[in-house]
Structures are given as C-alpha cells and as structure tokens.
Amino acid sequence: MIRRYPMVLLLLLALLIPAGGHAQQQTFSVVASIKPVHAILAALMQGGDEPLLLVSGTASPFEYRLTGLQEAQIAAADLLVWTGPELEPFMTAAVAGVTGDKRVVELLNLPALKILPQRLNSDLRDPFFWMDSRNILILTDELARTLMAADPVRSHLYLRNRRELHRKLAELDRRYEFGYRGLSQGVALLLYDTLQYFSQAYALRLGEVLSPLPAQPVATETLLKARNGISNGDYVCVLSETGMPNEHLALLTEGLPVRTGELDSFGRRFQPGPELYAQIMEYNTAVIQDCLGTEGAAKSAYFGSEAASGETLGGRFILTDHNGREVTEADLLGSYHILFFGYTQCPDVCPNSLQVLARALTLLGDDANRFVPWFITVDPERDTVERLREYVAYFNENMVGLTGSGSMIDTVVKQYRVRYEKVVDAAGDPMRYTMDHTASLFLIGPDGRFLTKIAHGITPQALADRLRNFR
C-alpha cells in the first residue's frame, strides 16, 4: 500500500518546524549518489539550490571511485542521499565518515519503500527499487519530508514541487499499470537482474538471469543451457544493460531467431535532471515492448497491439488543420508523413516525443524535407484550431496540428489502432482531466500506406537513422 501524506499535514509540518538553523543560510547542499535518485531530488528542489550528482555520465556505480573534490562535497553537504552498499560500495567509507548533524539517507533502509531480496542472493537487497514507479511515488513523499525538516525555510518550495512531481508520477504509474496489465505472453532472458521490481509491479514475465550485478563470470554450462532455451522457443528476446559487459550476447543469439534489447536502468544515455526518471522508464518500456514483439504485446490494453510493417492501417477521414483548412487522407499522398497522437495539455509524454521528433528532423538536414510531421489530438474538446496553431509552432515549423469532431477523432484513432482513455480529476471538475494515450509514431509512405510503427522512447539520433533508410 502506498503511504500518502496529505498536503494539509505536510503544510502543518512545515509551519511547526522552527525557522532557525538554515534561516540565514544562503545555500542548502544536497548530494545524491546516482542519476535516478538525483532526478527526484532535482525535481523537488527546482527553484532553489541544485543537488550535486556523484556518478554522472556513463560511469557505473559498482566500480566508481570518489574524487577528492567529491569527498569534500560529501563532508560539507547538509544532506546526503545514497542507495546502499549493494549498489554503491564506493560510498561506504564516505558515509561512515560523516559527522555532526549531517543528515544521511540510505534508501534501501527506508521502511516505506518496497525492497526485495536479490533473486540470485537472498541475503542481499535488490537495489533497483526505482524500476517500480510506485516506489518513486513513495520516495517523493519521503524526500520531500526530509528536505522540509532539514531546510524548513524552503518548505513552501518543496511542497509546491512535490505536488507537481507527484501528479506526473501518478500519471506515469497509472499508465504503466494499465498498459502492462495481463501482459503474460513472451518471456525474456536477462543478462543482468535489473527488472525484478518492474516485473512484479506490472505482471511482466521474466526468465532466467545469467549474471548478477556487478557482473560475474558465467559458466559455459549456463550459457549453453540458455542458448538451448532460446533455440527451443522458451525465450522470445534477450535483454542486456547499457554500459554492462555483453560479450556473451553473440554466443547466445548467433544464428537463432531471437530479438535483443538494451535497457538503460541507470539513465546513462540521458542528461541528469528532473526529467531523467521519466526518460528511463519510457525508454526501458519501449525496449521491452520492442524486444517482446507483437506476441508479447498482444494483451496490452494501453499500448495496443503492435502493428507490423506492411500491415494495413488507416482509412478515410476529414479533419481540420491548425490553420482551419480541411484535411483528408488524400493529403497523406506525395511525401512521407509521421503521425503522433496526443493532446496539447499533456504534461510530459507529448512534449518529450515531439521534441525527439523535431530533433530527429533537424539531424536529417535537407533530407527532412521528405517528411511531414502530424500532431493529431485525442482531446478535441479542448484542442481548438488556435490552441493547436500555437502548440505545433513550438516544435517544428512544418508540423501540422489536426483536430476535428469527437466522432471523427474516434474514427481516426481506431483506424490506426491507437488507444486513449480520459482520466477525470478526483475533484470532479469536468474540464480538469488527462488523457492516457498511445505514444508511438506512425510512418506513412508517399502512397498513403502505413509503413511502420516506432515505439516511444527512441532517441533523436536513432529515429533519424531509421527515417534516413526510407527512400
């Protein structure tokens, strides 16, 4: 059960804490060990001081070594947040050396979080708790309370940011729970055990794990057994981790009809900041969906069935673009068109996806002229022509915003097997709602036929590379 802290109680806590101690302090120094944890702190501290990140770039926490400057930063920090020795052995000496009234939070020790034992060694804790978004909802409350207690002068800031972050995370959690409910077909073989929390939270079936983290040698017998399982159809895909050794991958998969995917559970490919956690989850979700393929996604209520390249999607429609001009399926002819379904008040998925699309088109240079991006609203009630005109102009000068009657929008989304659901605000205001929706890109050829569906979470460079192949 998720522990929730009502706003009134949090506000009372902020008011009851004396304003001394940090009242005259110009800065409040917070140090976080890894990117996923840093992302939550960065979101909670927006508008104030920025938390420091220790393990940045593509470094691995298992082999990391603190610099002299980082040791000094830890010693001077008002608050230190780390995961635990199972993930960050480099932190143990530094944590032991923290003295005085400094606050140290070891996340694997928080009783409010759901912490699982490792599958390959039950005496150790599984440190990848953030792969269950419900744990991050709880962590947001825990860290907000910790920040308010340690830095009461900025309690109003932490309360405000906590409210906004909680809203985004709750939507993410609801969407994933809805999307993975009943996803039971297809089993993945894991090179490393980073998905135990994800699999339990969203009923995702996982197979054998070859090596624990940090990576340990894998016996030849184990590799041969795993390859035999792939050959027999026990596993439909093999998942590895970005930045971790994968020399066994070729031996496991060579000559066999099995898909592969590379997870990024530490967020190595993303820039640190308040948006990184959502980026990790969206990216890993896309990798898992692609790796499991159409069979694995067949029962997904949210993401819908994956459309295979060459499958017939689309049909006749009449919509209105952001300039008030009538648009039909005939306007899909003559160029490649990239369709994205969303809505202008979407808090994160839509702007992130459209930024990726816009960046990919920029990377294509003059070749981008062959592609026309379309943004089709699933919220015609609020997305007027004027609102769409302002929205699409922000992303790309050639982007076409499309709206229409509710019945016509329903027709178009059914033609492309898009899923969406209106989620009304708990307060009951009929105009305060969000739209859970499919977040993929649909590529249409110059002849108006559907070519392929590109899962959400792809990087701009990868998207540009894929589009460049279409001639």
187: Cα within 13 Å, side-chain hemisphere = 13
Tell me the pLDDT tens digit for each residue of 299-351: 332 233 334 444 568 888 899 999 999 999 989 999 999 999 999 998 878 99
C-alpha 323/C-alpha 138 separation (Å) is 44
Is 187 in contact with 168 (CB distance < 8 Å)?
A: no
296 pLDDT exceeds 90?
no
Of the candidate ranges 309-313, 331-335, 372-376, 466-470, the one whose mean pLDDT is the lowest: 309-313
The pLDDT, as a whole number, for residue 36 is: 97
Tell me the pLDDT tens digit for each residue of 74-96: 999 999 999 999 999 999 999 99
Number of C-beta neighbours around residue 124 at 10 A? 14
- Domain 318-468 part of CATH 3.30.420.10: no
* Average pLDDT, integer, range 240-267: 88
C-alpha 109/C-alpha 306 separation (Å) is 40
244 pLDDT exceeds 90?
no
* Average pLDDT, integer, range 14-25: 45
Tell me the pLDDT tens digit for each residue of 418-440: 888 888 876 666 777 888 888 88
The pLDDT, as a whole number, for residue 67 is: 95
* Average pLDDT, integer, range 261-268: 93
Q: Given CA atoms 9, 132, 286, 341 in this order, what sign does their dihedral have? A: negative
The pLDDT, as a whole number, for residue 9 is: 53
The pLDDT, as a whole number, for residue 385 is: 95
Q: Residue 351 contacts by C-beta under 8 Å, 6 or more apart in sequence?
A: none
Class in CATH terms, 188-296: alpha beta
Candidates 361, 405, 366; CA nearest to 383 is 405
Across the chain, mean pLDDT equals 85
C-alpha 413/C-alpha 435 separation (Å) is 13
Domain definitions of the chain by residue range:
7-178, 188-296, 318-468
194 pLDDT exceeds 70?
yes
Q: Residue 238 contacts by C-beta under 8 Å, 6 or more apart in sequence?
A: 188, 189, 190, 191, 230, 249, 252, 253, 258, 259, 260, 261, 291
Tell me the pLDDT tens digit for each residue of 94-130: 999 998 788 999 999 999 999 999 988 889 999 999 9
Is 314 in contact with 448 (CB distance < 8 Å)?
A: yes
Helices (H), 394-440: 406-415
The pLDDT, as a whole number, for residue 427 is: 64
Tell me the pLDDT tens digit for each residue of 124-142: 999 999 999 889 999 999 9
Report CA dihedral (140, 141, 146, 151) to the nearest 10 degrees: 80
The pLDDT, as a whole number, for residue 10 is: 53
Distances in Å between the Cα of 255 and the Cα atoms of 188, 231, 251, 290, 294 are 18, 9, 9, 20, 21
The pLDDT, as a whole number, for residue 241 is: 92
C-alpha 149/C-alpha 460 separation (Å) is 41
Of the candidate ranges 37-46, 91-100, 117-126, 214-223, the one whose mean pLDDT is the lowest: 214-223
Residue type, 200: Q
283 pLDDT exceeds 90?
no
18 pLDDT exceeds 90?
no
Question: Of 62-71, 183-192, 341-350, which has the strongest mean pLDDT?
Answer: 62-71
3 pLDDT exceeds 80?
no
pTM confidence score: 0.61
Tell me the pLDDT tens digit for each residue of 151-175: 999 999 999 999 999 888 887 777 6
Is 97 in contact with 88 (CB distance < 8 Å)?
A: no
Of the candidate ranges 19-28, 266-275, 310-319, the one whose mean pLDDT is the lowest: 19-28
Whether 188-296 and 7-178 are alike in CATH topology: the answer is yes
The pLDDT, as a whole number, for residue 440 is: 87
The pLDDT, as a whole number, for residue 179 is: 54
The pLDDT, as a whole number, for residue 428 is: 64
Of the candidate ranges 64-68, 177-181, 459-463, the one whose mean pLDDT is the lowest: 177-181
- Domain 7-178 part of CATH 3.40.50.1220: no
* Average pLDDT, integer, range 270-279: 92
The pLDDT, as a whole number, for residue 178 is: 55
Split at pLDDT 50, 70, 90, the class of 362 is: very high
C-alpha 384/C-alpha 317 separation (Å) is 18
Is 103 in contact with 128 (CB distance < 8 Å)?
A: no
11 pLDDT exceeds 70?
no
Tell me the pLDDT tens digit for each residue of 383-432: 999 999 999 999 999 999 999 998 899 889 989 988 888 888 766 667 77
Tell me the pLDDT tens digit for each residue of 245-255: 888 888 888 88
